[in-house]
Chain A
Amino acid sequence: MNVGLTRCMTLSRVISALVLAICAFMPFLAPAVGEPFLIGMFARAMIWSIAALSLNLIMGYGGMISFGHAAYLGVAAYTVGILSFHGVTSAWIQWPTALIVSAIVAFLFGAISLRTRGVYFIMITLALSQMLYFLARSAELYGSDDGLTIARRSATGLSFLNLNDRVTFYYVIFAALLLCLFVLWRIVNSRFGMVIRGIKSNETRMEGIGISTYRYKLAAFVIAGTMCGLAGILEANLEKFVSPDTLNWARSGEMIFMVVLGGMGSLFGPVTGAVVYWLLQDKLADLTEHWQIIFGPFLILVVLFARGGIDGMLKRRPRDA
C-alpha cells in the first residue's frame, strides 16, 4: 500500500509540474504547433487559476463557501478600468489602488457575512456581490451594461516590462501565478494556516482552545480577496475591457467549480481545475452551442464521485476507491 501511495502522491506532483511547465513554455509551444491563439487561452486560464487559488484559501482550507468571490475580481478590474478612463494609466498607481480596493471590499463583505454560518453565509456573500453587479450595471459614466473599454494596458514605464508586448505580459501573468502559489504554500502551512484549517475541521473546538475564530476568518477573507483582486487587474489588462459580468454570480460559481474540480484544500488543485475547466469549456463549445448541457452534469458527476477533485483522484489509495 505504501509503495502505491507514494507513487500516487508523486503522480499528483508530476501533473502539477507538468501543468506549470506547459504554462511556462506556451509562448514557444503555441507557435510551434501552429496554434498561436493558445497563448491568449493559457494567459486567461492562469488568471482564472489565480482567482480560483484565492478562493481555495477560504473555501478549501477555511471551509467558508463564498458565493461572491467575483466581487473582488470585479472591483479590481473596474478600478483599473476607471482609473484608465480618467487618464491614470500608470501601473504603479493602478495596481496598488486596485489591490487596496479589493482588500477593503473583502474586509467589509467578510465583516458582515462571517457573522453567519452555512446557507446564510452563502446567501449573504451572493447578495453582497450582486449588489456590486447592479451598481456596475447602473454606472452610466462607465458604460453600464455595455461595460468599459480600456484604451491601453497599464503603463509600467519600464521598457523591459511593456505589457503591450504579448509575451512579456504572458510572463507577468505567469510570474503572478507562481507568486500566488508560493505565498499560499507558506500561508497554509504557517500558524495562521493551521488555525484556518482547524476552523474548517471543527470551529467549536477551536474556540474551546482559545481561538477567536472570527478575526482569523476575516483575515483569510481579506488575503483571498486581495489575491483575487490581482486576478482582476490582470484580467482587465488582458481583455482591455471590463463589464458587469465580471462581478456576476456566474463568475463566482465558475470559481467554485474550478476549486471543486481541482480539489478543495489542495494547494495546486485550483490551477489544474482552472486549466481543465477552460479546456473542457473550449472543446465542448466546439462540439455544440449548448455545451453547458454536457458540462453541468459532468460537474455534478465530479462532485459526487471524485471527492477531492482531480487532485484527490490522483492521490487516492486503491483501497479507498
Chain B
Amino acid sequence: MPEPILVTESLHKNFAALIATDSLSLEIMPGGIHAIIGPNGAGKTTLINQLSGMMKPDSGRIRFAGQDVTDLAAPARVRLGLVRSFQITSILRDFSVLDNVALAIQAGQGHSFRFWAKAALDPTLREPARALLEGLDLGARNDVRSGELAHGEQRQLEIAMALATNPKMLLLDEPMAGMGPEESARMTEYLAGLKGRITMLLIEHDMDAVFALADRITVLVYGRAIATGTPDAIRADGEVRRAYLGDA
C-alpha cells in the first residue's frame, strides 16, 4: 500500500456559530483524482483554504508528503508542491497571458532576488510558459492582457498558473465553474491527461466531469464527510442521493 500524499486529522473550522469544517479526516492517495462534492455552502472552498494555508484551522492537523504543514504559510506549501486554483478566477489582470504563466514558472524556480537580467527575455521562463499555454489551447492568446480574456479562457489560465509552479498535488476549486459544456469537456480531457503525474483534489459541481475523472469521491455536507468511496459506490449510496444528488 502506498502512503497517502495528503492527510487531514480531524480538521475543524467554525465561522461564529457556523461549522464549516467538522472533524474532517481525509486520506488522499498519490497519483489519483479525489473529488469532493457537496451542496453550496458545504465547506468545500473553506477546506481548500485550510489545505493551501490561506486559512488557519481551529484545530486538527494537515500532513503533506510526510510533513506536517499545519503551521506552514501558503507560499511555503506551494514550494513543497501543494498548489491550489481559485473558484473565483484569480489572475494578474493587467499582465499578458504569457507573463502570468511565466511569472508562475519563475516562482517555481527558486527565489526571485534577481535584479538585473530582463525576465521577458529569459527563455527558461518564456519557453515552458508558451508550451503550457499551447497545451491548454491558449497559445494564440499569449500577448492578450489577461483581464480581457473571455471567462472560459480565464478559467484555463487559472489552471495554467497553478500547473506552471510544477506541483506535486493540485487543489482544484471548481475548475469548470462558468464554462460552457464544450470547454468543460476539453478541461476534463486535459485533467485526465495529467492523471498519474499530479495528484488532484477536485471540487466540482459538474457531475459529468466528476464521474469521468475521479477515482474516489468524498461527499461533504455541512462540513462533514458523509460518505467516501469509489464513484460507483457513491452513485449507489442512498444517503448521498438524498443529501446531494437529488434523485427521487
Residues of A within 8 A of B (CB): 186-187, 189-195, 197-198, 201-202, 204-213, 216, 219
Report the nearest A residue to B105, measured CB to CB. Answer: A209
A206 CA to B99 CA in the complex, in Å?
13
Report the nearest B residue to A192, measured CB to CB. Answer: B115
For the complex formed, measure the closest distance between the CB of B73 and the CB atoms of chain A, giving whole angstroms.
7
A205 engages B92 (CB within 8 Å): yes
The interface residues of chain A lying within 8 Å CB-to-CB of B165 are 209-210
The interface residues of chain B lying within 8 Å CB-to-CB of A197 are 95
Report the nearest B residue to A193, measured CB to CB. Answer: B119
For the complex formed, measure the closest distance between the CB of B190 and the CB atoms of chain A, giving whole angstroms.
19
New A-B pairs, 17, CB < 8 Å, besides A208-B84, A208-B86: A186-B116, A187-B116, A189-B119, A190-B116, A192-B114, A194-B119, A195-B112, A204-B54, A207-B73, A207-B75, A208-B74, A208-B83, A208-B90, A209-B107, A209-B161, A212-B73, A216-B113
The interface residues of chain A lying within 8 Å CB-to-CB of B95 are 197-198, 201
B108 engages A191 (CB within 8 Å): no
Interface class of chain A by DSSP: helix
A209 engages B103 (CB within 8 Å): yes
B54 engages A207 (CB within 8 Å): yes
A187 CA to B113 CA in the complex, in Å?
10
10 cross-chain pairs, A with B, having the tightest CB-CB distances, nearest first: A210-B78, A201-B92, A209-B107, A191-B114, A212-B75, A209-B104, A191-B112, A205-B90, A210-B107, A195-B112
A190 engages B93 (CB within 8 Å): no
The interface residues of chain A lying within 8 Å CB-to-CB of B99 are 194
Residue interface mask B68-102, A partner, CB < 8 A = 1: 00000111101100011010001111110001001
The interface residues of chain B lying within 8 Å CB-to-CB of A194 are 99, 102-103, 106, 112, 119
A190 engages B74 (CB within 8 Å): no
A216 CA to B114 CA in the complex, in Å?
11
Report the nearest A residue to B147, measured CB to CB. Answer: A201
The interface residues of chain B lying within 8 Å CB-to-CB of A192 are 112-115
